[in-house]
Structure 1
Amino acid sequence: MKMNICLLYGGKSAEHDVSLQTAMAVCQALDMNKFAVYPIYITKDGKWMKGPELKEPVTDVKELVFQNEEMVPHALNAALAPDQQQKYDVVFPLLHGPNGEDGTVQGMLELLNIPYVGNGVLASSAAMDKVIMKNIFAQAGLDQVKYTWFVRPTWEAAPEKAYEQVEAELGYPCFVKPANLGSSVGISKCENREQLAAAFTEAFQYDRRVIIEEGVVAREIEVGVLGNDFPECSVAGEIVPDKAFYDYEAKYKDGNTSLVIPAEISTEINAKMKDMAIKAYKALDCAGLVRADFFVTNEDRIIINEVNTMPGFTPFSMFPLLWKHTGVDYPALIEKMIELGIERHQEKQRIIHTF
């Protein structure tokens, strides 16, 4: 009998289009002899659109964009089922950014007691918020760049004071980022006060809180982590962008970025990086997967930058490529993640809710 799987994608996020690309790639890789695949598309304004069962691989993202009747939010428990007789065996949230990768959808699935792929509420929300994530990493003793943050009202009340604080604590160059967003959306590199002011304005369009990080001269190395309570690491890969930093254009549009897999690093650095990746994974109580991103300086200082709980997931994205070079191809990786989601759900069912 086929396993009923729901693909949840789109979303009310600046990373909506990235999610559509991910959903198409997963649809193409799933073995439809093993899985009955049911899509649910979330529009940019947050409406949930349930599509028909996918009988064959999707070749255009337009096939995944539905304009049918919106689901009624309070009837989601009934709606999250392929038909009236059975429920989904597992939901695969292919959502990037806020309102999907940040624990909100995961919390809904927890309340409905439906198995799902990937990280839970705590890890998803903590890792999505760069300030909270970095605070947790600091408590875990992981080496990081210096950073500070502001909320919009504080900045609007005294912008010059905010800029002076950044200059005193971090200096230039520095990076300004929305605290809760990925895919390098809204990120700016700043070399002076004028650029810093523009960067604050840009980042605050996407979030009510921004984080500012010290700039470092370093290589960008990434590691994939896969598993639940006994996670394992992939080989390491290096990003070599053909511009100042690895921004949205470099990731998804211009194609002028080289991915070197495996990264040319020493055995000692490789081992320490994997140890730090696992430490970060456990500090956030992650499940299923993350991509852990590091900086490695010329002095061999290893700095953790962040972890991404739903990294880019097309066959040409770094996370799947890392595992491909480790010996796990794209279809096998997807099936492994589904297995891990069901395993995590079964583990939670052992919890007693009465006393």
Structure 2
Amino acid sequence: MKIKLGLLYGGKSAEHQVSLQTAKAVIKALDLSKYEIHPIYISETGEWKRGTELLGPVEEVEKLKLTDGGDVVSPVSLNQEIFPTGLTNVKEESSIDVIFPLLHGPNGEDGTVQGLLELLNIPYVGNGVLASAAGMDKVVMKNVFAQAGIEQAKYVSYIRKEWEKAPEAAYDKIETELGYPCFVKPANLGSSVGISKCQDRASLAVAFREAFEYDRKVIVEEGIIGREVEIGVLGNDEPICSVVGEIIPKKDFYDYKAKYEDGDTGLVIPAEITEDEHNRIQEVAIKAFKALDCSGLVRADFFLTKDSKVLMNEVNTMPGFTPFSMFPLLWQEAGVSYPKLIETLVELAIERHEEKQKIKYTF
């Protein structure tokens, strides 16, 4: 029997378009002999639409917005055994078996949707509420890593009101504790949206204003001179790692355009590193995965310095699946094809859901 797989994409986030690209790539890779593909689109204003079963790839990203069909639905209708629905365009009357959230950024990757799916008791791919929320907030994530003894770059953080009251004091502290260059980032966003590299106080002030357009909290990190390397982690309680890959930006740093638009970045997979460096990166990646109580998948990002020091940068709890994305490329080099990777993630989602059904909720 085919698995009814709901693909949840779009989202009320600055990373809306990234999510659409990811959904298009996943749909193309799915084995239609194993899965029924049910598209569920969340608009940029937060409206949910469910379309008819997809019978093949979607060639144009804009068609994923279901403007030519589909019903506006309540999110709770995803579990139709509990909440029956009277959809006009959806043939299936039973619940979706597994949801694959292909959402990036706030209102999707941050635990909000994961919490909804937990309440509806629907299996879903990827990390749970805690890991998603902590992994989305770079400040919380780095605080957890520090508690776990994971070495990382120096950082400071500010909320908007703190900065507005004393911007010059903030700049003084950054110059004293971090120095230049440094990176200013929205705390709760990915895909390099709103990130700036700063070389002086003037650019620092501009960077703060830009970052606060996307979040009420920003993080500032010291610039690290080192190679940018990444590794994929896959699993639940016993995670495994892919090969290590290296990002070689042709620009000043790995920004949004290089990631998703022009592919203006060199990727070296596997990275040219020593066996010892690979082993240490793998060890820290799994340590970080467990520190955040992750499940399903993460991409762990590191800096590797000239003296072979491994510094944790961050983990991405929902790495992209676009043609330019590092995560599937890392697993492909490790011998796991793109379709097999998706299949494994669905299996892990079902495994975790079954494990949770063993929990006793009465006393």
TM range (shorter): over 0.9
Partner of 2:57 in structure 1?
57
1:75 Cα deviation (Å)?
Answer: 4.8
Partner of 1:71 in structure 2?
73
Structure 1 residue 152 corresponds to structure 2 residue 154? no
Partner of 1:122 in structure 2?
130
Within the candidate set 246, 271, 278, 2:286 is matched to: 278
Partner of 1:13 in structure 2?
13
Q: Deviations over 1:21-57 (max 9, x none)?
A: 0000110011111111100000011110111110111
Structure-1 separation of matches of 2:335 and 2:217: 40
1:315 Cα deviation (Å)?
Answer: 4.0
1:254 Cα deviation (Å)?
Answer: 2.4
Structure-1 separation of matches of 2:38 and 2:271: 38
1:218 Cα deviation (Å)?
Answer: 0.5
Structure-1 separation of matches of 2:78 and 2:47: 12
Within the candidate set 334, 337, 343, 1:329 is matched to: 337
Structure-1 separation of matches of 2:331 and 2:77: 38
SS in 1 for 2:72: coil
Q: 1:175·1:190 contact (CA, 8 Å) conserved in 2?
A: yes
1:2 Cα deviation (Å)?
Answer: 1.1
Q: 1:80·1:88 contact (CA, 8 Å) conserved in 2?
A: no
Q: 1:222·1:293 contact (CA, 8 Å) conserved in 2?
A: yes
The verdict on how the C-alpha distance between 1:256 and 1:90 changes in structure 2, with shifts beyond 3 A counting, is: same
Structure-1 separation of matches of 2:181 and 2:5: 46
Alignment of 1:256-271 (within 5 A): 256-271=264-279
Alignment of 1:27-176 (within 5 A): 27-67=27-67, 68-72=70-74, 75=77, 77-78=79-80, 85-176=93-184
SS in 1 for 2:153: coil
Moved more, 171-180 or 247-256: 247-256
The verdict on how the C-alpha distance between 1:261 and 1:84 changes in structure 2, with shifts beyond 3 A counting, is: closer
Alignment of 1:184-223 (within 5 A): 184-223=192-231
Within the candidate set 343, 349, 361, 1:341 is matched to: 349
Q: Gapped runs of 5+ residues in structure 2?
A: none
Report the TM-score, using the length of structure 2 for normalisation.
Answer: 0.95
Structure-1 separation of matches of 2:228 and 2:74: 44
Structure-2 separation of matches of 1:263 and 1:75: 45
Q: 2:48·2:72 contact (CA, 8 Å) conserved in 1?
A: yes
SS in 1 for 2:133: helix
Q: Gapped runs of 5+ residues in structure 1?
A: none
Amino acid at match of 1:111: L
Amino acid at match of 1:226: L
The verdict on how the C-alpha distance between 1:106 and 1:80 changes in structure 2, with shifts beyond 3 A counting, is: farther
SS in 2 for 1:313: coil
Q: Deviations over 1:117-139 (max 9, x none)?
A: 00000000000000000000000
Structure-2 separation of matches of 1:324 and 1:151: 40
Partner of 1:251 in structure 2?
259
1:169 Cα deviation (Å)?
Answer: 1.2
Identical pairs, percent: 64
SS in 2 for 1:5: strand
Amino acid at match of 2:25: A
Structure-1 separation of matches of 2:268 and 2:362: 52
Structure 1 residue 353 corresponds to structure 2 residue 361? yes
CA RMSD of aligned residues (A): 1.4
Amino acid at match of 2:239: P
The verdict on how the C-alpha distance between 1:7 and 1:186 changes in structure 2, with shifts beyond 3 A counting, is: same
1:77 Cα deviation (Å)?
Answer: 3.9
1:70 Cα deviation (Å)?
Answer: 2.5
Q: What is the number of residues matched between the two proteins?
A: 355
The verdict on how the C-alpha distance between 1:54 and 1:75 changes in structure 2, with shifts beyond 3 A counting, is: closer
Amino acid at match of 1:37: I
Moved more, 79-88 or 262-271: 79-88
SS in 2 for 1:163: helix
1:83 Cα deviation (Å)?
Answer: 5.4
Q: 2:76·2:120 contact (CA, 8 Å) conserved in 1?
A: no
Structure-2 separation of matches of 1:313 and 1:255: 14
SS in 1 for 2:123: coil
1:300 Cα deviation (Å)?
Answer: 0.9
Q: Deviations over 1:88-109 (max 9, x none)?
A: 1100000011000000000000
Within the candidate set 185, 188, 211, 1:180 is matched to: 188
The verdict on how the C-alpha distance between 1:122 and 1:80 changes in structure 2, with shifts beyond 3 A counting, is: farther
